[in-house]
Amino acid sequence: MLTSPSCTRWRARLAAWSLLVVVAAVVLHASGNGALAAPPLTRPSSWRQWLGDRTPVETAFALARLAAIAATWQLAVTTVVGALARVSGAPRLTAAADRMTAAPLRVLLSGAFGIGVVTSSFAGTAAFAAGTRPPTVETMVRLDRPPTETMVRDRGVPTTWLVAPGESFWEIARRVETVADGREPSTAEIADYWEALMAANRGRYHDADLIHPGQLFDVPAPPVD
C-alpha cells in the first residue's frame, strides 16, 4: 500500500470526508423531532394522519430530511465498503463497489489507498475486475497531421489530446504519466495529475465522467519526479 506524501494527503481528505458524513448523519437524526419527524414507514395506514398534522412546508422539509438521511447512509456505506475492498486487495469486490460509488468518492478512495480504478468506461472497470491491465498505448496524440514541435514536449508528452472512444480523464492521465515517467504510475500519482488535467480544461466539458470522442483537451506538463 502507498505511503507517499501524496497518498497521505489523500488519506487526510478521506478522513475529513468521513468526519463530514458522520456529522451530517448525527445532525439529520437529531433534527427529526416534532414537525420534521419522518412518517411511520412501516404503517402506511397512518400516513394520511401524518400529512394532515403538517403544513405543506413542514411536509416538504420532513421528506427532504428523510431523503438526506438516505443519501447520507448511502455515502457512508459506499465509503466503508470501498475502503474495505481496497484494504483487502480484492479487485472484483473493488470493481463492484466502484459501480455503486460516485466518481469523486472513487477518486478519494483510490488516492487514499493506492488501490482501485477510476474510469467512466464500463470496459475499464471490467478489465480491472478480471485482473488484467489495459495495454500501454505508445501513440499519444491522435491528429490528422504529423505533430509539430509545439505539440509534443520533452519526454514525449503531448500538449493536446484528441479523445478517442472509451477514453476518460483518468485514462488520459494514466497514459500521460506513464510516458512522462517511463513507468506505470501509482494510483495517487494518477489522481494528482487527473485533477490538474481537469483543472486545465475547465469550461470545456460539462461532466468529467462524460467526455466524448473528438473533444480536444490541453495536456498540462506532468510534475517531474
Output the nine-digit C-alpha cell for 61: 422539509
- Last residue in a domain, options 61, 94, 117: 117
The per-residue pLDDT for 69 is: 92
- Whether residues 84 and 165 share a domain: the answer is no
Dist. CA 222–CA 225, nearest whole Å: 9
Full domain range(s) for residue 180: 154-218
Mean per-residue pLDDT for 1-8? 53
Helix (H, G, I), strand (E, B) or coil at 211: coil
Distance, in Å, from the CA atom of 99 to the CA atom of 122, rounded to the nearest integer, reads: 9
Of 65, 89, 117, the residue at which a domain comes to its end is: 117
Phi, psi of 221, deg, nearest 5: -65, 130
Determine the Cα–Cα distance for residues 215 and 202; give it in Å rounded to an integer: 13
Q: Which is higher by pLDDT, 195 or 87?
A: 195
Q: Are residues 90 and 184 in the same domain?
A: no
Question: Alpha helices of 31-145 — where are they, by DSSP H?
Answer: 47-52, 56-88, 91-99, 103-113, 122-129
**Residue 52 covered by a domain:** yes
Name the band, by pLDDT with cuts 50, 70 and 90, for residue 196: very high
In a domain, 172, yes or no: yes
Structural domain count, the chain: 2
Confidence band, pLDDT 50/70/90 cuts, at residue 116? very low
pLDDT tens string 78-104: 999 888 887 886 667 777 777 788 877
Predicted pLDDT of residue 91: 67
Higher pLDDT, 95 or 223: 223
- Predicted TM-score (pTM) of the model is 0.51
Q: Both 161 and 214 in a single domain?
A: yes
Choice between 146 and 4, residue whose per-residue pLDDT is larger? 4
> What are the residues whose beta carbons fall under 8 Å from the beta carbon of 202, sequence distance 6 or more?
none
Residues 158 and 104 in one domain: no
